[in-house]
Structure formats: C-alpha cells, structure tokens
Amino acid sequence: MNKRIGIITAGGDAPGLNAAIRAVGKAALGSYGAEIIGFRDGFRGLAEDLRMRLDKRALSGILTVGGTVLGTGRDKPHRMEIDGQMCDMTSVIVRNYQKFGLDALVCIGGGGTHKNALRLVEAGLNVITLPKTIDNDVALTDATIGFDTALGIATEAVDRLHSTAHSHHRIIIAEIMGHRAGWLTLGAGIAGGADVVLIPEIPYDVNHIAAAIRRRSRHGTNFSIVAVAEGALSKEDSAAFAAAAKRKLNAKTKTEKQRAKTELAVLTANHSGNTLRLARQLEELTRLEARVTILGYVQRGGTPSAGDRLLATRLGTMAAELIHDKVFGVMVAARGDGVKPVPIADVAGNLKTVPPDHAWIQSAKRVGTSFGD
C-alpha cells in the first residue's frame, strides 16, 4: 500500500516554501508512489480538516512562486483559538492524522514550528521537519529556507540607500528583520558596505557609534550607512533585559514571577521604535541629519533566489527519502553541500545566534565596520 504524506507550512512566510513543498511532493510521488495531502494555514489545517490534494498538477509551476500555496499560520496545537476560546487541539490533530490515514507529516517552519512539531512527535505522530526562516536562526543547520533570498533583498536595499546618503550628507539607518539573531543584518551590512552594523548579539554604545561616524566626517566622508537589526539593544537595555530575565528565572513565588514577566513586557514595549530613537540620538551627537528606512515584510516577499530553490529541493527530497526509510522525529538539516537528519528534540527550543567571534564579524571589523561595542 502506498504511503500517504501530509505537509504543512507554519509560522511566517518565506521565499522557497513552495519549492520545498514541490520537492517533498514530487520526490515522494515520483520515486515512491506516495499520495500527498496539503493542510492549509499551518497546524490549524490539521485541526479543522482544511485539506487539499497535492498531485502532479498542483505541484507544477510553483518552484519559482513566492509565499506558500498552502497558506501559513502561527497557531499552536496545544493553544489554538476555537470559537473565541483557547483550546488544546493536540488530541484532535492526532485523531485527524489517524482518520486521514497519514503515514507521516512534514512540517516546514522555524523555531516555533519545531516546538510544535515536537509536541506531535511526543503524541506519537511520525513527523519530519524542514528548517525555514529568513532569520537563519534554527539550530543545527547551516542554512534555512528563505534566508538567501532575504539576504539579497536586504543587501540591495542597503546598496540603494548609499546614493541618497552620499547625495544629502546624511546618516541613513536601515532597520532589517531579526529580533533575536543578527544573521540577516550582519550579512546584508557586510555585503552592502554598511559603516555600522548593530545586531542583538552585540549590545552597542551610541557614543561609540557617533564617534565612528564623526571619524568618517573628519576624513571627508559626510555620510554613513547604519544597518540595525530590529532586536539590537543598547548596553543599558541589554543589561535591563538580562536582569529582568534573571529575576524571572530565580523567582520563588508566583507574585515574583509575574512581576518579572510584567517588567519584561514593559521593556519589550519600550524597545518598540528603538531605531527611530537611535536616529535622534545620532543626530544630536553628530550634527548630521539621520533618516530611517524600515524594510519590514518586503524582505519576505517575491521570487525565491536560486540558492533557496536549491536548498529547498535538497532538503525536501531528503525528507521524502527519510519517510520511505521510516526515519521520523528528525529535522532535515543542511550541512555543507549535503544534508543530515538531526533529532527535532535537539532543535526545538534552541536558537542559532551569531557568535561574537564569528568569521563574518572578524572580517567586517578588518574593513573598518563598527559594531558600536
């Protein structure tokens, strides 16, 4: 009897999702004669029976299309809003998995998706995951689907901002996606020739940034490009977050824990608009005009790059092979030019951040890039 495989895409959208769906589907159909069922809108599709058949016709022509033909969502199996109430739908998903006669479920997503996939593994389902996020922060994989395309988009934006900065003798600040990891900002900043790169992993001192910009002015360069991750923190804010997180971890009572959670929520809310505040601070310290460009969701959109299509195809076809070999509970990770299955349990809850001594950072510093530290 041929296998029946379910596929979902969950979390934020990213270029290359359709390429991954196509790779899993075409490999499983062509090599193993499997039947492929797509579930719409992430884990909700499994809970609410939002199915579509992914036959050869449905998979045709989607390799180069951005977004995901299945739609996506951020619902959690154990915490899903149903008729206005938060419900644990894990058991419903398990029943539907069995009712639909699935032999395996492929979940394509980032950090949150891997946590949710692990819950389904623990509930007894045969699950394989593929790493997807423009932030490139999924643990135990060299690359994630979507990162290469987003890196190209962000780099092109930084390239284009150079002409305006040079023409008007301004500081141009480009805010790039990345709440907890700075891979995208770091890569785009280096590739785009940014003069200052600010990432979450390296807390900055605004006075050091201003000093670097003033040095450029003294040498006759009256403009600067600052690439800043949306999650970049000043040294003061970083210390405040760390102290609040420590208080939450060490809380001995519910009251203490709630107080620490509230403090963290206030700090997070206050951090909103940090890039605009940074622009004002730099204007005051350097006497140069500063303008902010927030790239936002444009980084997620459009046609996937050749690199992302290749990565998605490598990972997706291996997922089909692993299902055929009855290897489950793993994420298909990119390792060099190859792929490797790693336990989902080792991925879920972990974050791949930029090491302070990473080769990219060392190279950037050698060409004079400031990190504000």
> Considering 264, 284, 300, which residue would you say is the last residue of a domain?
300
pLDDT in tens, 31-81: 999 999 999 999 999 999 999 999 999 999 999 999 999 999 999 999 999
Q: 66 lies in a domain?
A: yes
Residues 237 and 269 in one domain: yes
- From the list 135, 137, 148, 195, the catalytic residue is 135
Q: What is the DSSP letter of 234?
A: B
Residues 129 and 239 in one domain: no
Residue located via tokens 């739609």: 71
- Total structural domains within the chain: 2
Q: 352 lies in a domain?
A: no
What span, in angstroms and rounded, lies between the C-alpha atoms of 369 and 354?
16
Q: Give me the CATH number covering residue 94.
A: 3.40.50.450
Residues 139 and 87 in one domain: yes
What percentage of the chain exceeds 70 in pLDDT?
A: 100
Q: 62 lies in a domain?
A: yes
346 is annotated as an active-site residue: no
Residues 156 and 94 in one domain: no
Residues 10 and 79 in one domain: yes
> Considering 240, 270, 300, which residue would you say is the last residue of a domain?
300
Residues 108 and 60 in one domain: yes
Q: What is the mean pLDDT of the chain?
A: 95
Q: 360 lies in a domain?
A: no
What span, in angstroms and rounded, lies between the C-alpha atoms of 112 and 116?
6
Which residues lie below 8 Å from residue 53, measured CB to CB, with a gap of 6+? 35, 36, 37, 38
Residues 115 and 80 in one domain: yes
Domain boundaries, position 51: 4-146+304-347
Q: Give me the CATH number covering residue 296.
A: 3.40.50.460
pLDDT in tens, 87-140: 999 999 999 999 999 999 999 999 999 999 999 999 999 999 999 999 999 999
For residue 278, the model assigns a pLDDT of 96
Q: 363 lies in a domain?
A: no
Residues 203 and 309 in one domain: no
Average pLDDT, stretch 167-196?
94
Average pLDDT, stretch 310-323?
98
> Considering 300, 328, 361, which residue would you say is the last residue of a domain?
300
Q: 99 lies in a domain?
A: yes
Residues 169 and 195 in one domain: yes
For residue 1, the model assigns a pLDDT of 57
For the record, the structure tokens of 195 come out as: 């003069």
Q: 343 lies in a domain?
A: yes
pLDDT in tens, 2-28: 799 999 999 999 999 999 999 999 999
CA torsion 73-130-149-303 (nearest 10°) is: -60
Residues 101 and 154 in one domain: no
User: Phi/psi zone of residue 2: left (φ > 0), alpha (ψ -120 to 50 degrees), beta?
Assistant: beta
Q: What is the reported pTM? A: 0.94
Pick 169 or 205 by higher pLDDT: 205
Q: 362 lies in a domain?
A: no
Pick 188 or 265 by higher pLDDT: 188
For residue 17, the model assigns a pLDDT of 98
What span, in angstroms and rounded, lies between the C-alpha atoms of 175 and 316?
32
Residues 293 and 322 in one domain: no
Residues 287 and 173 in one domain: yes
Which residues lie below 8 Å from residue 119, measured CB to CB, with a gap of 6+? 77, 78, 90
- 40 close to 52: Cβ distance less than 8 angstroms: yes
